[in-house]
Amino acid sequence: MSKNIVYMDNSATTIQAREVTAAIMKSLESDFANPSSLHELGRKAQNEVSKARSIIAAELGVDSKGIVFTSGGTESINTVILGAADALKRKGRRIITTKIEHPAVLESCRHLESRGFEVIYLDVDRCGFPDLDMYRKALTGDVILVCVMAVNNEIGTVLPVREMCADAHRNGALFHVDAVQAFGKIDLTGCGADFISVSAHKIHGPKGVGAFYASGRAKFIPLILGGGQEKGRRSGTENVNGIIGFGKAVELMREDRNGEKSSNPVNDPGSAAGSGGAESRENRNGGYVWSLRQRLITGLRNNIGDIKVNGPEKRGEVSDYILNVSFLGTRGEVILHALEADGIYVSTGSACSSNKRGQSHVLRAAGCTEREIESAIRFSLSRYNTAGEIDYTVERVAAAVTRFRKLGSFR
């Protein structure tokens, strides 16, 4: 990159790790064959796909036979919801989800509603936790599928998917976890889900590749038909190079949890934007990202008045990686562009719906006021952020908020 940046929009996408890029570049030269081909080169490509499949399965704690590669999280989610609904419609036509799900879930559910399915959207409290009493009352025998995200992409709420999955199974329903924001960041092993959707580009892997897990009991009809790849569950020649990059990204996550160092894909250590990070980047295990999040909250509160943290604040109830803050008396989009001028990149909500110019459905469902919604900024961190970047961000946010509040046009 031509200049140092402070990238805090990792819930939208992450910067591809250098080691991932290297693995993909190598595979472009050596793994170009079609993995369905019977010759040696085809077998070699298939072996690389199988290796990545096993790596991803191990991270989820599931059987690698259940991993199906797709073009990304959206395709995975669409395949699961639409495919399971079609496979199980003779049993029932009722689906349960929450009001704060990603658009990939909500739009799939709305499509099913247009086809005569009933979808129950669970209310959430001000922290984004679903109404479990409402959930259990809705879990009748004709519910065929429950779809719940593990981590909310806007406010970071960690939803009780283990508990909800157990309830669903007791009532004979399948359970799907949207783990796009959770994969590698919270432990999902043994959660019991029938389906789990994941994406590579949220974990410093390449765009255009994702996967979902389908358990042995999970029934679904494939969304994409053709040559019968992925054991007939998702046709189309596999994106071998992207899948290799996906596997490498998962390996890097594991290394980081073990305290091993991978290179920063954004800034060189010791640079202005990366100052204060050379030591801390070597200690990402033991809550490193959480410590950055807490440093950011403390700095904002100490330097800016009249702010509100949206979502939970207790570790375990909220993702280490996401902080959503309303700077009352401003507009989030104005603050976003002011920070952009300082080389800091954040967001006002989900990148998948930001171009629609609508208000955040997540904050609205959580009961936020109009002022809180319009002044919200999402800071989403990664293991490559540094303490120096946090301090610089606090300084520039404080300056921007002070400047625009003085204008008085946002109150």
Fold classification of 18-254 is Aspartate Aminotransferase; domain 2 (3.40.640)
pTM: 0.93
Which two three-digit tokens encode residue 329?
Answer: 């008396």
Using the 8-state DSSP alphabet, how is residue 332 labeled?
H
Which two three-digit tokens encode residue 39?
Answer: 């010759």
Bridge partners, residue 293, by sequence: none
> Could you say which of 109, 165, 191, 352 is catalytic?
352
What is the C-alpha separation between 365 and 378, in angstroms, rounded? 17
Contacts with 48 (C-beta within 8 Å, 6 or more apart), sequence order: 27, 31, 35, 240, 243, 244
- For residue 2, the one-letter residue type is S
Burial class (CB in 10 A: 0-12, 13-18, 19+), 407: exposed
* Structural domain 6-14+283-407, CATH architecture: Alpha-Beta Complex (3.90)
Query: DSSP H helical segments within 61-149, as ranges?
Result: 73-88, 103-114, 132-138
In a structure prediction context, what are the per-residue pLDDT tens digits for the chain, which is 411 residues long? 446 899 999 999 999 999 999 999 999 999 999 999 999 999 999 999 999 999 999 999 999 999 999 999 999 999 999 999 999 999 999 999 999 999 999 999 999 999 999 999 999 999 999 999 999 999 999 999 999 999 999 999 999 999 999 999 999 999 999 999 999 999 999 999 999 999 999 999 999 999 999 999 999 999 999 999 999 999 999 999 999 999 999 999 999 887 655 666 666 544 444 444 433 343 444 599 999 999 999 999 999 999 999 999 999 999 999 999 999 999 999 999 999 999 999 999 655 554 455 689 999 999 999 999 999 999 999 999 999 999 999 999 999 999 999 887 554
Fold agreement (6-14+283-407, 18-254): no
Active site residue 352: yes
Per domain, the residue ranges of the chain are 6-14+283-407, 18-254
Q: What are phi and psi of 277, to 5 degrees?
A: -110, -10
